[in-house]
Structure formats: structure tokens, C-alpha cells
Amino acid sequence: MHAAGDVRVEDVPDASIKAPTDALVRVTRSCICGSDLWPYKSHAGEAMRMGHEFIGVVEDVGAEVSTIKAGDVVVAPFVSSDGSCTFCREGLQTSCRQVAFWGSADVDGGQGEAVRVPHADGTLVVLPVPEDDALMPGLLTLSDVFSTGHHAAVSARVGPGRSVAVVGDGAVGLCGVMAAKRLGAEQIILLGRHTDRTDLGREFGATDVVAVRGKEAVTAVRELTGGDGVHCVLECVGEEASFLTASKIVRAGGAIGRVGVPQFEALAGARPSFLRNVTISGGIAPARAYIEELLPDVLDGSLQPGRVFDRTISLEETPEGYRAMADREAIKVMIA
């Protein structure tokens, strides 16, 4: 990405093994994330290599890699982690002492042909399927959006019998609906204004859809919950207005799990949330911590988060994929 709105497919040096803990992965599927749209709107400065969600086939591994071997089909979470430091052992791999973000200085982007994966043993998860398996779209969501939706649900303390609201009808919000249902939520209210997306949200488990914003949305959610608001809010947008809505639809004693990358500095509503004992939780999702837990439900077909992909393009068409997502023509674009 050279600048806002300027994505190009260019040749870069071939990915290769540099450290004995690396793996070289040939990318077979990747995708464009809603969070890629923030720089697509505003990026200035040096060009960045993009893409943090991918599945691929291991071509080679360094001498110290022990659990991953050439030929393995693997999914990568959206950051790499060593799997062994104190934070990794606590399930917070995004705070790994050796964390690396795909596309950063010395690390290849996932929207490309191949990637050098640092700390392959800690980072990659082997998938027990062939590289062209029909489940690939769903498996690819474990890289980020489904794991992130699940993190929002866990952070918002979703559980059996709870009422839930999901703010945002992008791929993460839709996956959040699915995750909330999986965790036993009784009522799931999806806040979104795009009918094609909210229709899919209903199929994923939303019991109600609120298609208005701001004060009207707050009123609608309160009416749907006997006036109190919901136990759990999954904030899947990251704008100040969406966080304010979240803080006004959560009931006293409830929790907000925020996973939308904040596009603002300060969280508003400190006093009302204090007076109502609202827990504000969430953050960047440690996808690596959740992949093994979510994988069986995707493998056996009981959950189909891959339905968030409504367009598939070639690597060469990646700039057009960004445009389609930015213009809301596509929910989520797969590169295959």
C-alpha cells in the first residue's frame, strides 16, 4: 500500500528462511481485512506490505522447527508469536515478547505468494485437510475474523442465557454473532444497516436486527431487553460513535468486549460506566489462543464462518478487492 487508495501488486525479494525457527510458507489463500481499510482511507508515508490472514503450504523449515514440516497445510494467526514466553503461556500471544506483525519491517505480508513465518512452532497451526479443501474459507477465518469475533464474545462474558448485542455488521461482527450463539447466548441483537449483511447475521444466529444508529439504536435495544439493555456487547467497529452506543446499550453489571481497532483516543462515558459497574474489556484478539478450540466446529461443518467471504479474486486483482470492500460492495474478499 503506497498511500490511501493506492494498492499495487509488486515484486519483492523472495521470502526465505533466515532464522532456524522460521518456516517458509507458500500462500494458498489470503484475504482483505476490515482493518486494512483504515490505512486504505488514510495511509501516508512509506509503502507497507499488506495482509495478515493466510493459509498456505509449508515449503521448508529451519533447523530448530520441530512441530511443523514441509508439506503441512497451515493457518497463521494475524501475528506471529514464539509460543513459549510468559504471555504466550497465558494465552495472550499478541503480547508475545517476540511478537511480529505480518507486513512489518522484516516480515512478509500475507497478501502475497509466500511468507517467511518467524517462530513457526509457536505461530502456525497444522490443518488436517488438503490445500484445496472445500472448508478453506471457514478455516481462513480462524486467522483473524472468527477468532476476533470469539474474543469479543469471551471478553463480553457471553454465556448461556445471556442477552447480547453486536455492534457492527462487518465480517468480525457477523463472526461475533456466530461466536455468541456458540457460547449459548439466548438473545443476540445485531446492530447493522446493510440488509445483505444482517440477513447473513440472522442465519448465523442473530435473533433481532437493529438497523438504526445512535439514540434510535439505543432506544431499540432497550425496548428489546425490557428497558435494561444487554448483558454483553461486542463492539466490532472501533469508531467513537459505536463505542458510545455500546456503552449505552449495556445493562448495569454488564460487559463490553471491544475488538474494533479504536479510531479515537479516549473512551467516553467514564462516569456512567462507573456508576453502572460496566466492565470494559477486549482488545486485539490473541487468535492463536483460540484456533484449536474453534477448529473442530469448522472442520465438522457445524459452523460456516467462511460464508462472510462473498467475493474471491486473484492476487493480481487485490487493488480491486480493496476498492470493493471500501465501497461496501463486498463483505470480505478472499484472495485465492
Q: Which stretch binds Zn ion (CB under 5 A): 8-16, 72-80, 96-104, 150-158?
A: 96-104
- DSSP type of residue 110: S
CA distance 86 to 260: 26
Please identify, using beta-carbon distances, which residue of 81 and 163 lies nearer to Zn ion. 81
Q: Which is nearer to Zn ion, 121 or 144 (CB)?
A: 121
Q: How far apart, in Å, are the Cα atoms of 124 and each of 29, 53, 209?
A: 15, 12, 36
The answer to whether residue 208 forms part of the interface with Zn ion (CB under 5 A) is no
CA 160, CA 271: separation in Å to the nearest integer? 29
Show the cell assigned to 215: 439514540
Question: Would you count residue 50 as binding Zn ion (CB under 5 A)?
Answer: no
**Helix, coil or strand: residue 30:** strand
Q: Which of 88, 136, 165, 167 forms a contact with Zn ion (CB under 5 A)?
A: 88
Nearer to Zn ion (CB atom), residue 284 or residue 326 = 284
Report 277-306 residues binding Zn ion (CB under 5 A). none
Q: Which amino acid is at 134?
A: A
Instruction: Please say whether the beta carbons of 331 and 192 come within 8 A.
Output: no
According to CB under 5 A, which one of 50, 76, 85, 189 is a site residue for Zn ion?
A: 85
* Residue of 96, 120, 233, 250 interacting with Zn ion (CB under 5 A): 96
Which residue from 175, 67, 62 is spatially nearest to 121, judged by alpha carbons? 67
Q: Which is nearer to Zn ion, 76 or 236 (CB)?
A: 76
* Position 82 contacts Zn ion (CB under 5 A): yes
**Number of Cβ within a 10 Å radius of residue 270:** 11
Q: Which one of 81-89, 143-151, 277-285, 297-305 is the stretch in contact with Zn ion (CB under 5 A)?
A: 81-89
CB of 262 to Zn ion, least distance (A): 24
Residue 100 in contact with Zn ion, rule: CB under 5 A:
no
